[in-house]
Amino acid sequence: MNSQDFEFVSQLLRKRAGIVLTGDKMYLLESRLAPLARKEGLPSIDDLIHVVRARRDERLINQLVDVMTTNETFFFRDKTPFEHLKEAIFPVLAQARRGSRIRIWCAASSTGQEPYSIAMILDQNPALTGGVPVEIIATDISDRCLERARQGLFTQFEVQRGLPVQMLMHYFTQQDDHWRISERLRQMVSFRKLNLMDPAYNLGRFDVVFCRNVLIYFDVPTKTEVLDRIAGSMNPGGFMLMGAAESIAGMTQSFDVTQDRRGLYKLASRAAKVA
Ligand SMILES: C[S@@+](CC[C@H](N)C(=O)[O-])C[C@H]1O[C@@H](n2cnc3c(N)ncnc32)[C@H](O)[C@@H]1O
């Protein structure tokens, strides 16, 4: 791939998905685009890029962006966010949202392990929310991931990552060489396509947002914009969770850090919008 084509794809990814591709990612680009070129019946990556440039075909651009997303995820990833949910978030929201409902948003849910982990916690601990109904909305930019997440079908490798064996036995049934999540858990999560680069999210207000391991692909101004937009989609008193290696430092005033709870942020009262 020549440097103009690399530049073209980098610009496209940044504009469409916020994803920043540095110059050392040529190998990554080539390894992800080669299967797409084959799938499209094109002889090479160069031809694929030529077709994208010439036709500006939205379906193809969408697929190009999709294959360039990194979808690494696993059940109960990092453990602590799920402890925060049980120990610090649900006890507060059970009181604050009494008579209403608790709305949780997984803002980059990949193949579904994160929202399904939350669903398992809720199913196992019904007393946690004091009878307040909980809604889980999970979104991602990748159609490929959303389709897999909706199916709730996981490989042996995927169920061996982070999922306690008792939960595997309780919530999944084996289907050939895959494991299918129970219908009951599948019904607890609703999956939708959403690009965090969109100027407005229009999903209503949330009490808890999981925004984990996605901002790492964006540049600082984009991180700031996305975090502020997420803050604008939250109820006063809401909580936001980030990945183990992530932080809001220097990026936004919309959230306050919490003492002794790594990765857990509270919506700042100055950022809370009154409905
Ligand atoms: C590394 S996964 C993180 C999954 C999960 N949150 C976790 O921490 O295990 C990052 C996800 O972000 C999604 N993503 C990347 N850019 C996005 C965007 N602009 N809008 C929405 N999702 C995006 C990718 O498709 C991918 O599934």
Q: Is 69 in the pocket of ligand 1 (CB under 6 A)?
A: yes
Rounded distance from Cα 275 to ligand 1 centre (Å):
28
- Among 140, 191, 230, 241, name the best residue to mutate to test ligand 1's pocket (greatest count of ligand atoms within 8 A of Cβ): 140
Rounded to whole angstroms, what are the CA distances from 124 to 61, 68, 86, 242, 272?
Answer: 41, 36, 11, 23, 31
Report helix, strand and coil shares of the chain as percent, to nearest 5.
45, 15, 35
Rounded distance from Cα 109 to ligand 1 centre (Å):
6
Rounded distance from Cα 139 to ligand 1 centre (Å):
9
pLDDT at residue 274 in the model: 59
Rounded to whole angstroms, what are the CA distances from 91 to 122, 169, 202, 241?
Answer: 12, 28, 27, 16
Strands (E), 96-197: 102-106, 134-140, 153-155, 172-175, 178-181, 189-193
Q: Is 114 in the pocket of ligand 1 (CB under 6 A)?
A: yes
pLDDT in tens, 181-219: 999 999 999 999 999 999 999 999 999 999 999 999 999
DSSP of 182-238: PHHHHTTEEEEE--TTSS---S--EEEEE--SSGGGS-HHHHHHHHHHHHTTEEEEE
Q: Is 68 in the pocket of ligand 1 (CB under 6 A)?
A: no
Q: Is 108 in the pocket of ligand 1 (CB under 6 A)?
A: yes
End-to-end CA separation in angstroms for the chain:
50
pLDDT at residue 71 in the model: 97
Give the nearest ligand 1 atom to 140 CA. Answer: 22
Domains with residue ranges and CATH for the chain? 3-68 (1.10.155.10), 80-267 (3.40.50.150)
pLDDT at residue 275 in the model: 54
In this structure, the residue with its CA closest to atom 27 of ligand 1 is 110
For the chain, how long is the longest CA-to-CA vector?
60
pLDDT (tens digit, 0 to 9) for every residue of the chain, 275 residues total?
888 999 999 999 999 999 999 878 888 999 999 999 999 999 999 999 999 999 889 999 999 999 999 999 999 999 999 999 999 999 999 999 999 999 999 999 999 999 999 999 999 999 999 999 999 999 999 999 999 999 999 999 999 999 999 999 999 999 999 999 999 999 999 999 999 999 999 999 999 999 999 999 999 999 999 999 999 999 999 999 999 999 999 999 999 999 889 999 999 998 877 55
pLDDT at residue 23 in the model: 76
For residues 265, 271, 272 and 275, what is the CA-based torsion angle, rounded to 10 degrees?
-140
